[in-house]
A and B are shown apart, each in its own frame.
Chain A
């Protein structure tokens, strides 16, 4: 994948759309959902790096979000560090945990990696629940401060539209970083691992180092997203960071289009807004999600983005005729 001019234009159009979005929303509730969706964009970009580009499904993203969220909240609540500093430390803390988890997990290939990451997510959940002295268990942490100096500060982060732009900047940065990574030599090695890992080894490259890199970066994104979530909602408890949420990240990537830059953006908005429009079928939500996942994998392996570009290509062919 190269950064062509056409792609660049597409990204700019998406960004412009997201910048003007709040002025089209009259009910604040949808701004709230958009903030959550942007946070999920960050998670999904990370998930895409390991799942879409490298070809390893990680089911631990929510757990890493939890580490980032608790990391930033606890640093702030216990040491009184400024919010911007704790938010920036969250991905670093998460990276440490990801290194420890990733090293043994990446010794096994394919599916087993997924299972080990899933087990790791469970371990994170159990520890967050039981380490009550630090995490306050199921009751969670309340009163996590917003960035900035509150209502009297230069920027009022308690305002949802303001926070929206704050998260938009973060999501744009993360997306740009992802684009840089996948367009570099590193990105090409990751794709090569997905296509044929043995060949990468035969070419004299230590595939495990690249895999570990992708895994750790994806975890850092999740940790960063977790931190943004914690300061947005001001409340976290372990329930938010379970495997079900990690599965949402997998779904976002598949649905949007794995191995693309725009796919996770679309996928993240889909998983946050879809439940709103599936309310009528709420009790069948799991069945519908599962079915979407299966059908998308069989019939739409390149996700919504792939479908759209196929449709576009078809249209052009017609016009050319």
Chain B
């Protein structure tokens, strides 16, 4: 029983990271219809940035993180404007190929700027809490808390603000939104800025919990898409539930079934969901 609770605790931390990655992907997909495959690599760029600021420039972690989040918003907007906007009206396959090209580019730039060795963001958090035999390292606890705050903030933004209303309007019906006077040219920029900011937050979490290295971003984005398929395309609650389900499934699979095949098990779960509920666990029937 203790082992089960410990495994679930292990899974929730990584699950929170998946949630943030998936939230960024699901908003871009739900609102703009783009499968932004470069999201993982861009997120890791943010993580690297915090690492460089903290480890080699001596900037405090609490300053470095907001700086990276703001840079992330800028990068997100830039990507939308330079890469995706030119193929807005072309066949959707073009946007996806652009996404693949972007992934290679950003991975290549990360490699050039930050090298091939893994980097770990020095946080200085090394306490470990123990509650009734279940241990949880300080960093993991903060990651779970930060993810919760970000999820609430994003929901409040989308549900409660004027801009959020405009975004939802575009997601539901672009033409109607134009008629209602929504500035549809700025919406994609805002969506990309927001989702990249969430991604950068996830990148920072990966860098402080684990490590950032070449290929980690791609692995993350694949997990992110798996979450979307699990939770339902474009669904925000789906991304939250799906992320936690995937994180915990992986931990349980590694702990109780087979550590060598834990990723396979996660993908099998995804394929089974596709077979029986192609709209995802929380997606409505279409």
**Do chains A and B make direct contact within the complex (CB under 8 angstroms)?**
yes
Contact A119–B112 (Cβ < 8 Å): no
Contact A104–B275 (Cβ < 8 Å): yes
Contact A119–B97 (Cβ < 8 Å): no
Contact A55–B93 (Cβ < 8 Å): yes
Give chain B nearest CB distance to A244 CB in angstroms. 9
Known: A283-B111, A290-B102, A293-B104. 11 other contacts (CB 8 A): A104-B274, A104-B275, A108-B278, A115-B35, A116-B270, A116-B271, A119-B222, A123-B267, A250-B100, A286-B107, A286-B111
Q: Is A18 an interface residue (CB 8 A)?
A: no
Chain B residue nearest to A299 in the complex (CB): B86
- Residue from the list A108, A111, A126 in contact with B263, Cβ < 8 A: A126
Chain B residue nearest to A254 in the complex (CB): B97
Q: Is A209 an interface residue (CB 8 A)?
A: no
CA distance A287 to B260 in the complex (A): 32
CA distance A194 to B90 in the complex (A): 12
- Residue from the list A57, A107, A243, A285 in contact with B274, Cβ < 8 A: A107
CA distance A130 to B37 in the complex (A): 27
CA distance A294 to B275 in the complex (A): 33
Contact A57–B97 (Cβ < 8 Å): yes
Contact B102–A111 (Cβ < 8 Å): no
Contact B229–A112 (Cβ < 8 Å): yes
Contact B229–A294 (Cβ < 8 Å): no
Contact with B along A115-135 (1 / 0, CB 8 A): 110111011001100100000
CA distance A105 to B49 in the complex (A): 36
Q: Which residues of B contact A (CB under 8 A)?
A: 29, 34-35, 37, 83, 86-87, 90-94, 96-98, 100-109, 111-112, 218, 222, 225-226, 228-229, 233, 260-261, 263-264, 267-268, 270-271, 274-275, 278
CA distance A55 to B95 in the complex (A): 12
Given A114-B35, A123-B264, A126-B261, A287:B98 Cβ within 8 A: no
Chain B residues, Cβ within 8 Å of A285: 108
Q: Is A51 an interface residue (CB 8 A)?
A: yes
Contact B101–A114 (Cβ < 8 Å): no
CA distance A289 to B275 in the complex (A): 35
Chain B residues, Cβ within 8 Å of A107: 274-275, 278
Q: Which residues of A contact B (CB under 8 A)?
A: 51, 55-57, 104-105, 107-108, 110-112, 114-116, 118-120, 122-123, 126-127, 130, 194, 243, 247, 250, 254, 283-294, 297-298, 301
Give chain B nearest CB distance to A257 CB in angstroms. 13
CA distance A287 to B41 in the complex (A): 13
CA distance A118 to B223 in the complex (A): 11
- Residue from the list A120, A243, A250, A294 in contact with B102, Cβ < 8 A: A294
Chain A residues, Cβ within 8 Å of B98: 293-294, 297-298
Q: List 18 A-B contacts (CB under 8 A).
A: A56-B93, A104-B274, A110-B35, A110-B93, A112-B35, A126-B260, A127-B264, A250-B100, A286-B105, A286-B108, A287-B108, A290-B100, A290-B101, A290-B106, A293-B101, A293-B104, A297-B87, A298-B86
Give chain B nearest CB distance to A116 CB in angstroms. 7
Contact A111–B260 (Cβ < 8 Å): no
Contact B222–A118 (Cβ < 8 Å): yes
Contact B100–A247 (Cβ < 8 Å): yes
Chain B residues, Cβ within 8 Å of A301: 90, 94
CA distance A107 to B229 in the complex (A): 11
Chain B residues, Cβ within 8 Å of A130: 260-261
Chain B residues, Cβ within 8 Å of A294: 83, 98, 101-102, 105
CA distance A178 to B226 in the complex (A): 33
Chain B residues, Cβ within 8 Å of A288: 108
CA distance A301 to B112 in the complex (A): 29
Chain A residues, Cβ within 8 Å of B264: 123, 126-127
Contact A287–B226 (Cβ < 8 Å): no
- Residue from the list A112, A123, A287, A289 in contact with B109, Cβ < 8 A: A287
Chain A residue nearest to B91 in the complex (CB): A55
Q: Pick the most buried of B83, B87, B91, B93: most chain A CB atoms within 10 A of its CB.
A: B93
Chain B residue nearest to A100 in the complex (CB): B271
Give chain A nearest CB distance to B23 CB in angstroms. 17
CA distance A286 to B109 in the complex (A): 8
Give chain A nearest CB distance to B120 CB in angstroms. 23
CA distance A119 to B227 in the complex (A): 12
Contact B96–A108 (Cβ < 8 Å): no
Contact A122–B267 (Cβ < 8 Å): yes
Give chain B nearest CB distance to A140 CB in angstroms. 18
Give chain B nearest CB distance to A305 CB in angstroms. 16
